[in-house]
Amino acid sequence: MAKAKKKTAGKKKAASIKRVDGVPVDLVYVDKSPIHGKGMFARKRIKANMTLGPLLGKPARKDGTYILWLSDTEGFRVTNDFRFINHDSDPNCALTDVDVVTLRAIKPGEELTHDYGW
């Protein structure tokens, strides 16, 4: 007896996003920034309220490049490409405890920014 085939018409498999160190390289890229040095830019439209990925890094106690200060004495050295997200007082992204999340839709070619809090 032949097995019945499941209906799959109309159902799409979720597109997988290629990631390098947690960064969705299908959605973003690093390039020269008009804000400062290098920046991270949208490769294509990115939806609002989307979790892009985790901040990877290690604890830091001294100031330096790519250090996010969590308190007066505890820092975090970001080691993945999210370290290239520059500051803006009207940001399109935010940092949660561990992830980068979009605050609004981001257009292709637009630089990703977050508010450093200073």
> What pTM did the predictor assign?
0.82
In a domain, 99, yes or no: yes
Q: Exposure of 62 by Cβ count < 10 A (0-12 exposed, 13-18 middle, 19+ buried)?
A: exposed
Residues 30-56: tens digit of each pLDDT: 999 999 999 999 999 999 999 999 999
In a domain, 52, yes or no: yes
In a domain, 2, yes or no: no
pLDDT, position 108: 98
pLDDT, position 58: 95
In a domain, 84, yes or no: yes
In a domain, 47, yes or no: yes
Domain of 99 in residue numbering reads as 19-114
In a domain, 46, yes or no: yes
In a domain, 73, yes or no: yes
Residues 58-73: tens digit of each pLDDT: 999 999 989 988 888 9
Total structural domains within the chain = 1
In a domain, 11, yes or no: no
Report the CATH number at residue 74: 2.170.270.10
Arithmetic mean of pLDDT, 10-15: 50
pLDDT, position 12: 47
